[in-house]
């Protein structure tokens, strides 16, 4: 029996589940204790429903039972299994005479709490979710995910006075023949993503470093790493291979780092502390990426994105991809930034890479949805985003679907998805922005202002949201609100009347004698448009003087000024 157990363990380690299950089925004839091994094998090989057949009342079995129920979206049953663990209604674990004992889980209650937090998050029970994440982190502070969920801000009320509409989501087409005939045929067989300027070669990872990195080579070191054929077939070890390869190259730098002279636990504590002051610690963690430093870089890039620093966020994400070569976490955020900047080639390249290495991941299909949206194929975009939700229900993808419906001008449907997103993640500025846009487009400007201001309260540094608010209020001729938003943006307040306040603000800006960033400039263009609406032609011209980027928006406003001037002559 011991020799057979060792064979099963070896097959498991080699991911040869078919033969492992064959042997375990033989062992089960002699002893039912091998049911737990069969349950683990069925789960790890993706047969989630079948794994439930072998459930028992041990800690390991109940935990795998909860994982399986979560995978097939039967969350109530998953919670019940985990509650049995918390209630200590457990049978004794089976013991084996081999390394199969290593597959049996040691009881770690923090993992139970964190899994409950994940489930409650997916079922829109945010208070229960945060309670579980807190318990998990209190038990074990190394749980980064629980820590990050506990850092989010809280809003007392996020809903304007209206009936709450939620989408009717049906994932039936992703099950069985419907999915194969309709969606899979649409997506898999006709994935029309261009290679752009890339020529991909299977066995050379350096070819995945996109052509657009050439302009950044002076700033970010690009390392070429050749992989043998056997390496490319073992994707699970690929990141480890690349990490240690770069680690050897950068060993001198790493030895000099203060963070590496501390104990592991102190290093993790420092990581949490450093997340509170991103900019001060960028260089430190950049030097230990790939690897541990990348966890910090991805949070820093996301922080920059949330605060409207699109170009800076893209640079950090570019650095992550250069270092890690193949990476998944936060790539949905990265793809949204590329969408925003209309970087079609980079987004196409990212999509192809994720399809190749992370085909069955929710983030991959969200990225693909962004790509198809950018090329105005909204039908395919929605199919990809729906598949992303089918793999994993998450607020970020729900937001993307809401924005797709805004693109299609189906505003009621968009509202329903943004409402769902807020149930999944209450502190979710993107959904608030989406609701604001949808309400402005359905003749409910007061509600639009309400949601926009809520979003701004969460990320006050995000100038793009302020730009949307200013743009929408000007369109609705709510000029007092526009001026108030402009004053808040540039941190200036006056007690004069409408025109007087605007004139005073313009004089203040002219005296600043500084360069404005790209989002400030598009706000200044809107400010110039507002001046024209209020027949303040000279002031409109003065504001335009502050804008250095003479793009299409600039030319359009300049043309309007010239037309207005000619009419007054």
Query: What is the pLDDT, as a whole number, of residue 83?
Result: 94
Task: Report phi then psi at 337, rounded to 5.
Answer: -65, -40
Closest CA to 81 of 95, 93, 63: 63
DSSP for 132-180, please give it. Answer: HHHHHHHH-TT-HHHHHHHT----S----SS---------GGGSTHHII
List residues bridging with 204 in a β-sheet. Answer: 226
What is the pTM assigned to this prediction?
0.70
Distances (CA, A) of 546 to 510, 520, 532: 8, 10, 16
Query: What is the pLDDT, as a whole number, of residue 454?
Result: 92
Query: What is the pLDDT, as a whole number, of residue 241?
Result: 38
Query: What is the pLDDT, as a whole number, of residue 182?
Result: 44
Query: Which H helix or E strand runs over 468?
Result: helix 463-475
Query: What is the pLDDT, as a whole number, of residue 48?
Result: 86
Query: Which H helix or E strand runs over 194?
Result: none
DSSP 427: S
Q: Could you tell me the residue ranges of all domains in the chain?
A: 2-107, 205-341, 463-568
Distances (CA, A) of 213 to 206, 220, 247, 314: 12, 9, 22, 12
Fold category of 2-107 in CATH: 1.25.40
Task: Report phi then psi at 494, rounded to 5.
Answer: -135, 155
For the record, the structure tokens of 152 come out as 């989010």
- Residues 129, 307: Cα–Cα separation, whole Å: 25
Q: Residue 223, class by beta-carbon neighbours within 10 Å (0-12 exposed, 13-18 middle, 19+ buried)?
A: middle
Listed in sequence order, the residues at least 6 apart from 147 whose beta carbon sits closer than 8 Å to its beta carbon are: 137, 141, 272
Closest CA to 107 of 138, 129, 82, 141: 82
- Residues 569, 109: Cα–Cα separation, whole Å: 79
Q: What share of the chain is helix, strand, coil (3-state, %, to 5)?
A: 70, 0, 30
- Residues 540, 473: Cα–Cα separation, whole Å: 18
Query: What is the pLDDT, as a whole number, of residue 464?
Result: 92
Q: Residue 213, class by beta-carbon neighbours within 10 Å (0-12 exposed, 13-18 middle, 19+ buried)?
A: middle
- Residues 251, 253: Cα–Cα separation, whole Å: 6
Closest CA to 334 of 305, 362, 308: 305
Query: What is the pLDDT, as a whole number, of residue 39?
Result: 94
Torsion of CA 374, 380, 382, 383, to 10 degrees: -150
Cβ density class 508-543: b for 16+ within 10 Å, e for less: ebeeeeeebeebbbbbbbbbbbbbbebebbebbbbb
Closest CA to 279 of 312, 306, 310, 308: 312
Mean pLDDT by 10 residues, the chain (569 residues): 82 89 81 92 87 92 95 91 92 90 92 93 86 87 69 55 66 46 49 42 30 31 31 33 40 46 61 72 82 84 90 92 85 96 92 87 93 93 92 92 95 92 89 95 92 92 93 94 92 75 89 87 92 88 87 85 74
């Amino acid at each position: 029996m011991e020799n057979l157990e060792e064979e099963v363990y070896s097959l498991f380690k080699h991911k040869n589940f078919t033969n492992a299950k064959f042997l375990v089925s033989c062992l089960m004839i002699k002893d039912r204790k091998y049911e737990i091994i069969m349950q683990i094998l069925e789960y790890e090989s993706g047969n989630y429903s079948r794994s439930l057949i072998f459930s028992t009342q041990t800690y390991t079995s109940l935990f795998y039972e909860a994982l399986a129920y979560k995978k097939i979206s039967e969350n109530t049953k998953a919670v019940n299994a985990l509650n049995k663990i918390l209630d200590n209604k457990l049978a004794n674990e089976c013991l084996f005479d081999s390394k199969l004992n290593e597959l049996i889980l040691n009881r770690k209650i923090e993992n139970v709490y964190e899994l409950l937090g994940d489930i409650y998050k997916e079922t829109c029970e945010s208070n229960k979710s945060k309670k579980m994440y807190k318990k998990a982190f209190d038990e074990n502070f190394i749980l980064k995910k629980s820590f990050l969920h506990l850092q989010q801000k809280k809003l007392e009320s996020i809903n304007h006075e209206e009936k709450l509409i939620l989408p009717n989501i049906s994932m039936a087409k992703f099950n069985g023949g419907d999915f194969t005939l309709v969606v899979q045929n649409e997506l898999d067989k006709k994935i029309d993503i261009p290679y752009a300027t890339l020529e991909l070669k299977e066995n050379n990872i350096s070819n995945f470093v996109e052509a657009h990195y050439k302009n950044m080579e002076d700033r970010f070191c690009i390392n070429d790493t050749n992989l043998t054929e056997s390496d490319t077939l073992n994707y699970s070890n690929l990141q480890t291979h690349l990490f240690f390869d770069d680690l050897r190259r950068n060993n001198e730098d790493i030895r000099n780092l203060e963070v590496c002279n501390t104990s592991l636990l102190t290093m993790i504590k420092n990581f949490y502390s450093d997340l509170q002051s991103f900019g001060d610690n960028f260089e430190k963690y950049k030097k230990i990426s790939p690897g541990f430093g990348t966890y910090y870089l991805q949070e820093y890039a996301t922080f920059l994105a949330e605060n409207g620093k699109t170009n800076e966020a893209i640079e950090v994400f570019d650095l992550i991809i250069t270092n890690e070569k193949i990476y998944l976490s936060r790539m949905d955020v990265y793809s949204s930034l590329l969408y925003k900047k209309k970087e079609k080639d980079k987004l196409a390249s990212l999509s192809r890479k994720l399809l190749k290495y992370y085909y069955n991941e929710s983030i991959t299909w969200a990225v693909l949805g962004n790509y198809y949206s950018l090329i105005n194929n909204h039908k395919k975009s929605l199919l990809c985003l729906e598949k992303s939700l089918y793999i994993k229900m998450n607020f970020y993808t729900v937001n993307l679907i809401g924005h797709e419906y805004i693109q299609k001008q189906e505003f009621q449907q968009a509202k329903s998805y943004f409402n769902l997103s807020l149930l999944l993640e209450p502190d979710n500025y993107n959904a608030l922005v989406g609701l604001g846009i949808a309400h402005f487009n359905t003749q409910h400007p007061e509600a639009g202002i309400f949601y926009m201001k809520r979003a701004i309260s969460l990320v006050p540094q995000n100038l793009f949201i302020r730009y949307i608010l200013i743009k929408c209020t000007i369109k609705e001729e709510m000029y007092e609100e526009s001026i108030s938003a402009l004053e808040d943006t540039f941190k200036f307040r006056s007690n004069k009347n409408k025109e007087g306040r605007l004139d005073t603000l313009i004089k203040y800006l002219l005296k600043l004698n500084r360069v404005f960033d790209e989002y400030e400039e598009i706000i200044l263009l809107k400010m110039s448009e507002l001046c024209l609406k209020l027949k303040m032609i000279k002031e409109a011209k003065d504001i335009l003087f502050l804008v250095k980027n003479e793009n299409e928006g600039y030319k359009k406003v300049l043309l309007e000024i010239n037309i207005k001037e000619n009419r007054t002559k």
